[in-house]
Amino acid sequence: MIQFEQVSKIYPGGQKALTEVNFHLKQGEMAFLTGHSGAGKSTLLKLITVIERASAGRVVINGHDIAKIKAAHVPYLRRNIGMIFQNHHLLMDKSVFDNVALPLVIEGFSHGEIRKRVAGALDMVGLYGKERHSPVMLSGGEQQRVGIARAIVNKPPLLLADEPTGNLDPKLSMDILRLFETFNDAGTSVLIATHDLGLIARMKYRTLTLKQGRMLGAQELDSVHAALGGE
Ligand SMILES: Nc1ncnc2c1ncn2[C@@H]1O[C@H](COP(=O)(O)OP(=O)(O)OP(=O)(O)O)[C@@H](O)[C@H]1O
């Protein structure tokens, strides 16, 4: 689903963000992406969504070599990726319905189909019946769920989440992670960038760790854990 081969990213101005990164997220896999602040997590997600392009190496998404995709085709690639942000990027002056419907409106679905799909997505995230609410009337956890409903409403095969639980308490964070698990159980590939090591420890998924732009291998992780006293 996602393949990075010797991928490096140097921003204009010379800032090295990623150095020779290799990893493969298989179709249907769920994994965490972690690392210190500035390690390159957001840059890695931006390369997947083609907000940024690699300086060297190969990025392959869903069988497509990103370097070969023309700018005009990037929106089509992005339709296959549901993106979830820490601050959910909701339109606060629009209803919950309008927020979740947005990707379907852009894709030109009929009104009837949009109503059906939005109701289904809100049902999945536990917000059925809140269509007419304004996001400002909702709690932080509920707002995050609206962002998740919007990300999954067109049933993308890949979900990317950038610090999706950053503003939530441990119980709500766990609820959001369980929600990702239900999408993953239905076959969606999921990659979650997070600082929350406690949350990662409570789940059984593979963890990709970046350190100063490099992806650590299993051996390097063992020595980090040993240095931390076997935590
Ligand atoms: N647009 C940019 N131009 C120049 N340098 C950038 C740009 N975006 C990120 N960087 C640099 O690239 C490196 C990696 O940043 P990135 O945002 O990917 O890290 P991160 O792991 O997501 O950090 P955080 O957890 O704090 O969000 C940092 O040194 C950062 O300053």
Nearest-atom index, ligand 1, CA of 213? 14
| Low-confidence stretches of the chain (pLDDT beneath 70) | 218-231
Nearest CA to ligand 1 atom 8: 43
pLDDT at 109: 95
Instruction: Give residue 119's region: left, alpha or beta (phi > 0; psi -120 to 50).
Output: alpha
pLDDT at 5: 97
Instruction: Give residue 63's region: left, alpha or beta (phi > 0; psi -120 to 50).
Output: left
DSSP secondary structure code for residue 14 in this structure: S
- Per the CB < 8 A criterion, the answer to whether 28 and 71 are in contact is no
Alpha-carbon gap, residue 154 to 208, rounded angstroms: 27
Structure tokens of 32? 């965490």
- Per the CB < 8 A criterion, the answer to whether 2 and 33 are in contact is no
pLDDT at 217: 76
Q: What is this structure's pTM?
A: 0.91
Gap between the terminal Cα atoms of the chain: 31
- Per the CB < 8 A criterion, the answer to whether 161 and 192 are in contact is yes
Work out the angle at residue 14's Cα, subtended by the Cα atoms of residues 9 and 18, and round it to the nearest 5 degrees: 25
Q: Does residue 39 line the site of ligand 1, with CB under 6 A?
A: yes
* Ligand 1 geometric centre to CA of 171 (Å): 29
Q: Tokens 């606060």 label which residue?
A: 92
pLDDT at 226: 62
pLDDT at 87: 81
Amino acid type, 109 = F
Nearest CA to ligand 1 atom 11: 17
Probe ligand 1: pick from 9, 10, 11, 34, max atoms within 8 Å of CB? 11
DSSP secondary structure code for residue 69 in this structure: -
Amino acid type, 218 = A
* Ligand 1 geometric centre to CA of 54 (Å): 14
* Ligand 1 geometric centre to CA of 43 (Å): 6
* Ligand 1 geometric centre to CA of 15 (Å): 9
pLDDT at 231: 47
Predicted ipTM beyond 0.90: yes
* Ligand 1 geometric centre to CA of 38 (Å): 5
